């Protein structure tokens, strides 16, 4: 298939996922009724909505914002995973590689523990974002202090170090305040809030800027795939490209984690599935990761909120259910290719 056909197929997949996410739920809303409701919101068409006020509120104030939020988070995590795999030339790299998850988890834990006297739900997203950002800044500072600049292996090791330290601090805080464990782990397992358009408005600017920055470097990521020395000989400033891509991916990931919690495996499943069917070129891989990643997480959220209805599974459990076996396959494939 040509790149245009791949983009068209991925766009149709995302559109179908959005429709399924908007219509599936305890309250039945038909596709035709939903389309008429959408047309009624367009000025000058003079179309009446067939939905009751309660169904209108369910569709436009709960389901559609949640679906849009899921698409944004999925697109960001999948693209961040693909870009990390490109700049570090590591097929197992994921969006949380540089300590974003550990930092965000610590920030969320501190918000739950020390802000319980106020509305900590509103303080939790900014606290998680700040925690993730601080962790990545610390990882980058440690990497530079090693004397090898922002080299890929050094940054990865620095990220592991920072993640271990932040996780230890988080565990200590939780042990001192065991009554908050349920709130902390409900966030860590990942969820898409049904709080209307507020989270979408918060996340959208970060995702747009981050994805735009990553897409601007998609051709250079193809050059980096041949190795740092070869890319440098071709006139590419490897350090600058790596820093720019890592910065965009990390800022977007931190923002996504702040509103959705820790949703694992999206950055592993989606890029590798695309590579299997469409090839490894980042000029096509990154746009497809945006579309397929968004659709994948929306469908995962549909499973999360319907599998045990009226109860709701954490979405991180659903992605881990599919991601863990996929990760094993990727690991086995990578070992076979290395041999």
Q: What is the mean pLDDT of the chain?
A: 87
Are 36 and 50 within 8 A, CB to CB? yes
The arithmetic mean of pLDDT across residues 181-186, rounded, is 82
State the pLDDT confidence band at 328, using cuts at 50, 70 and 90. confident
CA distance to 77, 156, 271, 273, per residue, from 323 (Å):
13, 22, 12, 11
Q: Which tokens is 219 given? A: 């051709």
- Provide the pLDDT for residue 119: 63
The arithmetic mean of pLDDT across residues 59-64, rounded, is 93
Select the more confidently predicted residue: 323 or 204: 204
Are 229 and 138 within 8 A, CB to CB? no
pLDDT tens for 220-259 read 999 988 888 888 888 888 889 988 998 999 899 999 998 8
- Provide the pLDDT for residue 117: 63
Q: Cα–Cα distance between 81 and 85 in angstroms, integer? A: 6
State the pLDDT confidence band at 334, using cuts at 50, 70 and 90. low
- State the sign of the Cα–Cα–Cα–Cα dihedral 96, 77, 20, 48: positive
* Whole-structure pTM value: 0.90
- Provide the pLDDT for residue 144: 79
Q: Cα–Cα distance between 69 and 242 in angstroms, integer? A: 28
- Provide the pLDDT for residue 77: 95
pLDDT tens for 7-44 read 999 999 999 999 999 999 888 899 999 999 999 888 88
Task: Work out the burial of residue 298: count CB atoms within 10 Å of its CB; fewer than 13 is exposed, 13-18 middle, 19 or more buried.
Answer: buried
Residues near 110 by beta carbon (within 8 Å), at least 6 away in sequence: 127, 131, 173
CA distance to 83, 129, 142, 336, per residue, from 112 (Å):
32, 14, 29, 45
- State the sign of the Cα–Cα–Cα–Cα dihedral 208, 25, 17, 84: positive
In the chain the domains, ranked by start, together with CATH numbers, are 73-338 (1.10.3470.10)
Q: Which tokens is 23 given? A: 């219509």
Could you give the maximum distance between any two Cα atoms of the chain, in Å? 67
Q: Which tokens is 26 given? A: 């305890």
- Provide the pLDDT for residue 62: 92
Q: Which tokens is 332 given? A: 């086995």
Q: What is the 3-state secondary structure (H, E, C) of 11-34?
A: HHHHHHHHHHHHHCCCCCCCHHHH
Helices (H), 177-281: 181-188, 198-216, 218-224, 228-233, 238-260, 266-278
């Amino acid at each position: 298939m040509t790149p245009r056909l791949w983009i068209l197929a991925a766009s149709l997949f995302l559109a179908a996922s959005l429709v399924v996410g908007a219509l599936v739920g305890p309250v039945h809303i038909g596709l035709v009724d939903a389309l008429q409701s959408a047309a009624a919101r367009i000025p000058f068409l003079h179309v009446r909505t067939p939905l009751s006020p309660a169904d209108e509120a369910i569709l436009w104030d709960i389901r559609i914002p949640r679906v849009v939020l899921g698409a944004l988070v999925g697109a960001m995590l999948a693209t961040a995973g693909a870009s990390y795999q490109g700049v570090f030339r590591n097929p197992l790299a994921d969006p949380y590689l540089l300590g974003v998850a550990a930092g965000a988890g610590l920030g969320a834990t501190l918000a739950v523990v020390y802000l319980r006297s106020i509305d900590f739900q509103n303080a939790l997203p900014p606290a998680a974002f700040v925690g993730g950002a601080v962790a990545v800044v610390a990882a980058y500072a440690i990497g530079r202090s090693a004397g090898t600049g922002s080299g890929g292996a050094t940054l990865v090791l620095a990220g592991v170090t920072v993640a271990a330290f932040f996780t230890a601090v988080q565990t200590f805080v939780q042990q001192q305040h065991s009554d908050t464990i349920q709130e902390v782990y409900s966030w860590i397992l990942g969820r898409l809030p049904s709080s209307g358009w507020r989270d979408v408005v918060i996340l959208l600017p970060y995702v747009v800027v981050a994805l735009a920055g990553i897409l601007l470097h998609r051709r250079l990521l193809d050059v980096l795939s041949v190795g740092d020395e070869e890319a440098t000989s071709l006139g590419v400033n490897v350090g600058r490209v790596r820093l720019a891509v890592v910065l965009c991916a990390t800022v977007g990931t931190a923002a996504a984690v702040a509103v959705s919690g820790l949703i694992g495996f999206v950055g592993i499943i989606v890029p590798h599935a695309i590579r299997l069917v469409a090839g490894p070129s980042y000029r096509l891989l990154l746009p497809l990761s945006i579309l397929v990643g968004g659709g994948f997480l929306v469908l995962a959220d549909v499973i999360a909120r319907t599998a045990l209805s009226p109860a709701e599974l954490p979405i991180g459990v659903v992605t881990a259910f599919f991601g863990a076996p996929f990760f094993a396959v990727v690991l086995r494939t990578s070992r076979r290719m290395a041999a």
